[in-house]
Structure 1
Amino acid sequence: MRDIIDQLKEVVMAILPMAVLIIILQYTVIGLPPETFFRFLAGVVMVGLGLFLFLVGVHIGLLPIGELIGSSLPKTKKPWLIIGVGFILGVVVTIAEPDVRVLASQIDQVSEGEISNLMLIYSVAIGVGFFVAVAMVRTIFNIPLKYILMVGYGAVFTLAMFTPESYVPISFDAGGVTTGPMTVPFILALGVGVASVLRGKSSTSDGFGLVALASIGPILSVMVLGVIFG
């Protein structure tokens, strides 16, 4: 019960400043039509309720199951299984990520179907899955994170020179939206779970860095789309 109350407080503190600012602007500067303003207020209530339920669900279900899967996989002593499951989980969690779907629908609309909704979603998902698998390789073989980041971002800036200009900003936005409320809790818990078994409880910090790696994948995958279709 205490955790639920804490989640409610977090949601209120996250949404209240924005709501108060919009209300002040409404009566001082903007002057939106009453119908639009009431729709905003209704939206704030629904967003608050949805975010509260989502965060409760994350703490009750996603975080524990992600860490449980992460701690169970190393016990199989099959590196290929850990890497393969990491890839699959990275793909399916990203497909379920709301931020990715919002970006994909907006890009589909702006590009008039040139970059379709599903093509962008699956490209981003495969990119995230690939780098979650890379993160599992890093944890298993104890590879320093900085070397993987250097190679990854080196590939990003090299590929950017060959990617059409319209795809470059899309690719970096795609990297940003993967750090959303669905993907981050799950893959962080997965990484901490794997590291806690392979490296011991004192080295669970080795499980962090997955989000940094996962955000490289969508950038590269969208740039590859640009090279192929641009």
Structure 2
Amino acid sequence: MKEQLRDFLHALLHAMRNLLPIIVVVVAFQALLLREWPEGGLDMAVGLLIVAVGVALFLQGLELSIFPVGKRLSNQFARRGSLPILMAFGFAMGFSAVVAEPALIAVAAQAEQISEGRIDSLILRLIVAGSVGLVMALGVLRVILGHPIHWYMITGYVLVVLVTFFAPEEIVGLAYDSGGVTTNIVTVPLIAALGIGLASSIRGRNPLIDGFGLVALAVMVPMISVQLYGTLVYADGGNMPANADLISTGNDTQPTSGPLQAILDLLGMLRDVLPIILVVLFFQYAVLRRHLADPIKVGIGFALVIVGLYAFVIGLKLGLFPIGQRMAEQLIAFDSWLWVYLFAFAIGFATTMAEPALIAVGHQAEEAAAGKIQGSVIRLLVALGVAVGITIGVHRIISGDSIHHYIIAGYLLVILLTALAPRYIVALAFDLGGVTTSEVTVPLVTALGIGLASQIDGRNVLIDGFGLIAFASIFPIVTVMTYAILMERVVRPRGETS
């Protein structure tokens, strides 16, 4: 019991450390620039605390249930050496993990509300989850066959650009954001562990070159599938509302209006997590025909996952969504757009530098790269990429430019850099683009984009409000690959000749 309590406190500190950069940036802008306490500030503060507690409970539940059970299943299937079973397990785990992804649930709910139900949140989540499931199965096959990741990425992003060219503008930003939020609090550990574990267990495979890349594929494929879904949804060319009245600030919904409502919300969370539970039980009992090692501990873990997910969603409504939208309203009131750009850059850079997953990946990459790149340099490059990406995305909203042009240009640049970059950095760079946005950053950035689009005349919230997460995923790939190319072709040759 003491060990579980210590782990929970550690997870709570982890969540609060993720929130700290956001709090510092918001307080700095409120105190130095706006010089006022935000309206509803107490509710927002309580919401942030609830988010931290929810994330801590969620992580603790994962550590007790999904992670250890999934790891044991992966090891047992790898020892069997059955490719169909490994691919089926990869699909099932990818699908079930993304269906329960908190950030995807939040973004899908916002999209359904803004589109007045035209985009169905459940269908959107099923499409994204199915895409990630296919990616996991494909990724397992790629690692086993030893195919180079860069050919998958170049082919995939050429297809992404082509689909984006023909997709309706109402869906493009949402599609790219849906791809960006799939790799987050649940999916990254599962996906990364499966890829690196397979590469480490197969003779002739390099964990750095072959183990990374699954996260990048999990970001890319949903972009294609969601745009195809949007093409069908908007095939009749219907107009979407552009006003701000459709946007929920989070204060008009009382998530705890009574015990009955709380029970219904918890049942909703159970529905979200149920696919993971069913997948684990099916493969454990029907395929392996073995009992769970500690069913009581696993059951407690799943319960903590459900309660934590419920608290996380409640905290979003009270804290992070209102902060992003309120800051957008206040900064727009100034005569200069400079403060909006500075806030976007500061939020992107500060939150990314404090992202624990990025710190861990940077450390592992430093060891695997054998001195070719440093973990601290990776963090700086990725944080700079996220900050620049969010700032460019904010500029697109302010200027009213088409997201098609920005996205297509961004990924054409990525494709070019992929062809030029040294092979050791390609998979890592794409994975870094997928792990930069944390479970607390995504809702805030989404709310910031929606808040800006709802406050600027002539902007359509569905078209212009989404897309910031996509920019935050593209530009870290650009900065990391550019650095590797410069080090490989400019800096090192000079050092060798001297």
Q: How does 1:90-105 map to 2 (within 5 A)?
A: 90-105=94-109
Q: How does 1:107-146 map to 2 (within 5 A)?
A: 107-146=111-150
Can you list the C-alpha shifts for 1:68-105, whole angstroms capped at 9, x where unaligned?
A: 33322222222111112111111111101111111111
Residue equivalent to 2:254: none
For 1:43 and 1:219, the matched residues in 2 are separated by: 31
Q: Which has a greater percent of helix?
A: 1
For 1:17 and 1:143, the matched residues in 2 are separated by: 40
Residue equivalent to 1:204: 207
Q: Check whether the contact 2:200–2:206 (CA below 8 A) recurs between aligned residues.
A: yes
CA RMSD of aligned residues (A): 2.3
Can you list the C-alpha shifts for 1:142-198, whole angstroms capped at 9, x where unaligned?
A: 111111111111111111222112111111111101011011111112222222322
Over 3 Å counting, the alpha-carbon distance change for 1:18 and 1:160 in structure 2 is: closer
Q: Find out whether 1:38 has 2:26 as its counterpart.
A: no
Can you list the C-alpha shifts for 1:45-68, whole angstroms capped at 9, x where unaligned?
A: 222222233334444544443333
Q: Which runs of 5+ in 1 are unaligned?
A: none
- Among residues 8, 13, 19, which one is paired with 2:17 in the alignment? 13
Residue equivalent to 1:76: 80
For 2:179 and 2:89, the matched residues in 1 are separated by: 21
Partner SS, residue 113 of structure 1:
coil
Which protein is bigger by CA-based radius of gyration? 2
Over 3 Å counting, the alpha-carbon distance change for 1:32 and 1:8 in structure 2 is: closer
Over 3 Å counting, the alpha-carbon distance change for 1:24 and 1:147 in structure 2 is: closer
Corresponding residue pairs, total = 227
For 1:169 and 1:21, the matched residues in 2 are separated by: 26
Q: Check whether the contact 2:12–2:55 (CA below 8 A) recurs between aligned residues.
A: no
Partner SS, residue 151 of structure 1:
helix
Over 3 Å counting, the alpha-carbon distance change for 1:155 and 1:25 in structure 2 is: closer
One-letter amino acid matched to 1:31:
W
Which region of structure 1 is more displaced relative to structure 2, 137-146 or 153-162? 153-162
Q: Check whether the contact 1:67–1:193 (CA below 8 A) recurs between aligned residues.
A: no
Residue equivalent to 2:409: none
Q: Which runs of 5+ in 2 are unaligned?
A: 235-498
User: Percentage identity across aligned positions?
Assistant: 34
Q: Check whether the contact 1:83–1:134 (CA below 8 A) recurs between aligned residues.
A: yes
Which region of structure 1 is more displaced relative to structure 2, 122-131 or 11-20? 11-20
Q: Check whether the contact 1:127–1:214 (CA below 8 A) recurs between aligned residues.
A: yes
Q: TM-score, normalised by structure 1?
A: 0.87
One-letter amino acid matched to 1:113:
G
Residue 11 of structure 1: how far off its partner (Å):
3.0
Over 3 Å counting, the alpha-carbon distance change for 1:48 and 1:229 in structure 2 is: closer
Residue 5 of structure 1: how far off its partner (Å):
6.0
